[in-house]
Structure 1
Amino acid sequence: MREPAPEVSTAGTVVTAGPAGPPPAGPAAGTPHTATGTKDPVPATDAPPAAGHQPPAGAVRPAPRRTDRLGTGFWALFAAMFVANLGSGITTVAFPWLAADLTRDPLLLAGVGVAAELPWLLFSLPAGVLVDRYEHRRLISSTHLGRALVVGLLAVVLFADVASIWVVYLVAFTIGALTVLNENATQTILPRIVRPSQLNRANSNLVLADTTGGVFLGPAIGGLLLTVAVTLPFAVDAALYLLAAGLILLVTASARKAAPATGAATAPPVGTALGPVPAAGATAGAAEATATTEATPGTDPAAAPAGRSLRTEMAQGARYFWNHHVLRQLGIFLGLLNLASAIILGTQVLFAQEILNLNAAQYGVLFAVGAVGAAAGAGLAPMLESRLGARRVLLLTLFGNSAVSLTIGFTSSALLVAFALTVGAGLAVVWNVVTISYRQRIVPEHMLGRVNSIYRLLAWGPLSAGSLIGGLVVKLGEPLLGRESALRAPLFLSGALTAVLICYALIRLRDGIWSRDRNAVYGPDDPTSEEEDGMAEDQLTDERPGGTAAPPAPAFGGTGGADRPVLKTLISVNVLIAVAGLVMIGLEEGLTPAAAIWDGVSPLHLATEMNGPAVDRGEVWRLVSSMFVHYGLAHLVANMVMLGLAGWKLEPLLGSRRFLELYLLSGLGAGIATYLFTHDALTAGASGANFGVFAALLLVCLKLRRRSVLAIVLLAFGVVTTFAIPGMAIAAHIAGLLVGTVVAAGYALPTGDRRDRLQVAVPVGTLVVLLLVAVVALLL
């Protein structure tokens, strides 16, 4: 059971944020075709060179010192969240699977979700007071230790073979209670670790950690562990919680601000500009440098005045929240939205088992595939809010939530469900980043724990009721509708309720974060900007006189690429070829939904896909052309989304020419490997080339000391789906990965006088080797 608290959930999968919190590829099973789905370190000193000094030819221009680093305190929190959510993700699959082994009653099965979510109704308000009173790090670490103990005891009970559904209820309730405190404290400490202008980016990173561990790797690993022993996922989860508790000890945070001596804080009147509330401490760097620790509970300046009761402080927080019109609106609205989504949660494991016909490992993969969408959402959220504004972004996520639920309700295809969950996960993560950052900016620090608790009470409280409603809908609907229709009914009900909420938002919600005027969201000094939160992390820049930045320049001496022309061209070519193929299918035999989405094979495919016997007859162009054709729109979209995510970062760093060379060489290597090792298979797809791009992105990020989380997520996703989804061309993926690594090493690793020569020699040499291998294979 995965426990990080969701701000908004979508399509039956709880998506979390901050924290936070499921793309298929390839043709449909059973077809004969398979998818190949396939700055140098910154100097230690910023002192200018001596007069007359010129850098050696080919040297990389040093990047100016960045003042927007998130700091080691934040990255320690990031690591702890990733580890804890990895363990929670493992039990996301293990808990419902265990419950389904113990009972097939949909109402009893939904009770597991009720037990897990009930603590949010019972303990949210007291938890907020505790978070405002006591040391945040100690609370976070203690709750990790508590969850480790509880999950470890469950592993012992399972090993002794004395488990029952009631034991599962008790464990779920206890973990839920500890999570209430853990998640509140984790969100509340963040403004003390980073500056207000960094909150969007920091929350995006935390969402990415949650997504990578809890949505992608965790469920996939959990499904595999279940195939070994039912006890194993829970034992691993307990160990990971212990590690997370240790990592929290490395978090450094600035001292807490003292609460007002008298009087309850009140919300500003509606209509005033709500400027950002500065975090305690000037910068993350200052907090890191001084390593200021929190005061002990007895001397904490932010602690409640002596004699103030728990009830009094709860009432103070409730008054602040209720008097703040926008927060009250947003909390109630989110509660109703999560109620609609939770209707799906209680019986989703039965839907996966009985309608999608998934086993435990496949059920884990179903959760995992949405990580690409969630990672994209985490990365794009600051930019989307900057470009579109908060209102449009939130409305976009609502439309997506409703569409995902209805799509899943109408299908029996696991691949289509995975695709829908990918879209829904990305949109839900965007909602989380925008709304969490909004709260952290506008709420005074000494009230943030209590306001978070009230907000989460409204957001999480309905989840237990939603799970119960979903179980009742299935149980009562089965005699009238039949088992399959009854299992689909919660999805249709969820989609319909979300559609009603969309209408309400369009008509009634116009203040604060819902305003069309962004000055009414954060105030005229809006701290969210692409310049501050985006480009500085991804690209080298040149400093101009007067402090302005020149256009981004590639690393390693390259030129061009800032506008990403090669990436846009590659995606356009793939899309145009796919559309041409669908038109041919429609003209020849009529276009069915299955052909359009999953397994369409047109005359264009027959002439260009990888076909070993056809290559033997002299059709050698297939070694290259196969990387540009796809079997259906789902296959195309999955590959293009992953290429877009990686290429958007990589092309500006390598330059357009090098990026094109890397892509084509990786794709050629994948084609040759397919010819050698799966000679008789009919394959196509860009993922062999994609693997080369993923490997290059990781190597370049490591070389430049940039964030490599996206590259790791994409590579891990590719590896898992390669071995988990039938029909994937494993040889093509491995070959693309190896070729991409070699070519990227030739671009990024050489230094000094050898750089220019090696940057030409390595790709040329790689091409020669690949052609020699192809010639030898053809002759033999």
Structure 2
Amino acid sequence: MASAVRGPGTRRPGLGRPFRWLWASTAASNAGDGVTRALLPLLVVGSHPEPAAVAGLTAVNMLPWLLFALPAGVLADRVDRRRIVLYSNVLRGAVLLGAVALLAGDRPLPLLYALAFVLGIAETLVDTAAPAMLPRIVRARDLERANGRLSAAQIVLGEMAAPPVAGLLVGVAATVALATGGTLYALAAVLLVGLAAAPRPTNAPPGAARAAPGAAAAREPVLRGIAEGVRFVLAHRTLRLTLAASTLYGLAFSATFSMLVLLSHGTLGLGATGYGLLLAAGSVGAVAGTWLAPRLAERLPAVPLARWCLFASGLAYVGLGLARTPVQAAAALLCNGVFMMGWNIPVMSLRQRLTPEGFQGRVMSVSRLCAWGAMPVGAALGGLLAGALSVPTVFVLSGGVLAAGALLLLAPLRGDGAGAPPGTGAPADVRRNTDLLDKG
């Protein structure tokens, strides 16, 4: 629900010391992600330049999301989430620092794959537990602002700054790049030590204030915990429909992004530098979106804001497919970056706000699994459509489907997104908490 509009002289309250510790740790972790995401393919190409070897690295790195995303959600709802993130960063730091000695000489492909797989497992745990921590650290009305700042750190450090730095470091020595990534993850773990268990803000919605499951819940079978989480998501109309829209967005994003390099080279006639500038335009738009989306969320209901941003993102993809000059393409990508954050930040905040404390990890894991799981399918569809029709047509069709889907899927939701139908199939105490949310 949109909060009241502040007067021009009203100063926003801070997000608090616990959030600052979380932000600092997340920033260091995102920088480590950016270094390793660029480093691993370079290590593989340097010793195994075959296309199949490079493709295999991506598959191995993404495999943990398919294997462990749902169990990671159960773990995040049964164990201290701060410890999950802390220990996962310690693991990533230790693995990369240990690889400095192992990969100083020969770089066996199985060892590189094992490194990518272990890092993928840790990433699955961190990316599930860290967002689930946020509702216990900041007030419910500040979730958009907090998610915006975390997203900005991810984009600036993980996607814009760290990958080029990793390329420069590899040019010096691969071991230097490995040590840098390991040090950043270790720093993320150290910074998280400063995040003590913070009490839930007193003005949080009642449903989110539910304590984590006790010892009895921790002894329940993992499969039962997964089933309860999936049932809860599917039974809550807002969660179910926004999840369907996220899955559609994953399909459209991967179908277009996989073809962007061909659009850049073939249709627009750009070289490597021009392609990099196109990517930079999208990142600049996303950073702007992390600033704009929380401010719009203060004045507009969450669902209409997310719906129209998703619709506009689809139109931006259509515009990208119709672009015939680099300036037009860059403008479309910049706008898409803004609209992408206008969708992601309100929807993530809405899910956090509507989900009881004991289900935060599982709701996050289900949404990540659907969004990330749709991406390989979307990439394959993009390739098939480009071969059968043309590369620009992929962008026009994907954008049109996304725009239509945004309107159709989210049309039944109210402005604040609250509301679960009776007979949800979730445990009775969770249904009561959701009912309180619906009335709040």
Per-residue CA distance 1:350-401 (angstroms, 9 max, x = gap) = 8778964226xx8766644544322221111122234443344323433443
Distance in structure 1 (CA, Å) of the matches to 2:41 and 2:20: 32
C-alpha deviation, 1:159, in angstroms: 3.2
SS in 1 for 2:272: coil
Partner of 1:402: 314
Alignment equivalent of 2:342, drawn from 430, 433, 449: 430
1:2-151 aligned at under 5 Å gives the runs 68-99=13-44, 102-103=48-49, 105=51, 109-151=54-96
Partner of 1:501: 402
Distance in structure 2 (CA, Å) of the matches to 1:207 and 1:524: 30
Partner of 2:272: 358
C-alpha deviation, 1:168, in angstroms: 4.5
CA contact (8 A) 1:338 1:462 kept: yes
* 2:252 is the alignment partner of 1:340: yes
Distance in structure 2 (CA, Å) of the matches to 1:409 and 1:156: 47
Partner of 1:444: 356
- Structure 2: runs of 5 or more not aligned: 1-8, 420-436
CA contact (8 A) 2:317 2:398 kept: no
Instruction: Return 417-426 or 407-416, whichever deviates more.
Output: 407-416
CA contact (8 A) 1:255 1:280 kept: no
1:437-586 aligned at under 5 Å gives the runs 437-469=349-381, 477=387, 489=391, 492-493=393-394, 495-512=396-413, 515=414, 517-518=415-416
SS in 2 for 1:438: helix
* Superposition CA RMSD, Å: 3.7
- Alignment CA distance shift 1:406-1:176 (3 Å): farther
Q: Which has the larger radius of gyration?
A: 1
Alignment equivalent of 1:238, drawn from 182, 185, 189: 182
Distance in structure 2 (CA, Å) of the matches to 1:412 and 1:158: 45
SS in 1 for 2:195: coil
Distance in structure 2 (CA, Å) of the matches to 1:89 and 1:444: 32
Instruction: Write 1 or 2 for the structure with the bigger share of helix.
Output: 2
CA contact (8 A) 2:252 2:402 kept: no
Per-residue CA distance 1:98-131 (angstroms, 9 max, x = gap) = 55554463x6644443333332221111111111
Partner of 2:422: none
- Alignment CA distance shift 1:345-1:169 (3 Å): farther
1:267-278 aligned at under 5 Å gives the runs 276-277=205-206
> What is the TM-score of this pair, normalised by structure 2?
0.79
Distance in structure 1 (CA, Å) of the matches to 2:378 and 2:98: 29
User: What amino acid maps onto 1:119 in structure 2?
Assistant: P
SS in 1 for 2:107: coil
User: What amino acid maps onto 1:426 in structure 2?
Assistant: V
SS in 2 for 1:437: helix
Partner of 1:311: 223
- Structure 1: runs of 5 or more not aligned: 1-62, 258-274, 282-293, 295-299, 526-780
- Alignment CA distance shift 1:200-1:398 (3 Å): closer
Distance in structure 2 (CA, Å) of the matches to 1:374 and 1:80: 21
SS in 2 for 1:317: helix
Per-residue CA distance 1:508-549 (angstroms, 9 max, x = gap) = 43233xx3x448577675xxxxxxxxxxxxxxxxxxxxxxxx
SS in 2 for 1:113: helix
User: What amino acid maps onto 1:200 in structure 2?
Assistant: E
The share of aligned pairs that are identical, in percent, is 34
Distance in structure 1 (CA, Å) of the matches to 2:316 and 2:87: 37
* 2:138 is the alignment partner of 1:194: yes
Partner of 1:179: 123
* 2:203 is the alignment partner of 1:203: no
Alignment equivalent of 2:196, drawn from 252, 256, 265: 252
CA contact (8 A) 2:144 2:297 kept: no
- Alignment CA distance shift 1:158-1:131 (3 Å): same
Partner of 2:432: none
> What is the TM-score of this pair, normalised by structure 1?
0.47
CA contact (8 A) 1:390 1:434 kept: yes
1:581-592 aligned at under 5 Å gives the runs none
- Alignment CA distance shift 1:239-1:421 (3 Å): farther
Per-residue CA distance 1:269-320 (angstroms, 9 max, x = gap) = xxxxxx9446549xxxxxxxxxxxx9xxxxx764543642212222221221
CA contact (8 A) 2:208 2:354 kept: no
Distance in structure 2 (CA, Å) of the matches to 1:366 and 1:168: 30
User: Quick one: higher RCO (CA 8 Å, sep 6+), 1 or 2?
Assistant: 2
CA contact (8 A) 1:133 1:304 kept: no
C-alpha deviation, 1:405, in angstroms: 4.0
User: What amino acid maps onto 1:456 in structure 2?
Assistant: R
Per-residue CA distance 1:606-651 (angstroms, 9 max, x = gap) = xxxxxxxxxxxxxxxxxxxxxxxxxxxxxxxxxxxxxxxxxxxxxx
Distance in structure 1 (CA, Å) of the matches to 2:323 and 2:38: 22
Distance in structure 2 (CA, Å) of the matches to 1:390 and 1:76: 27
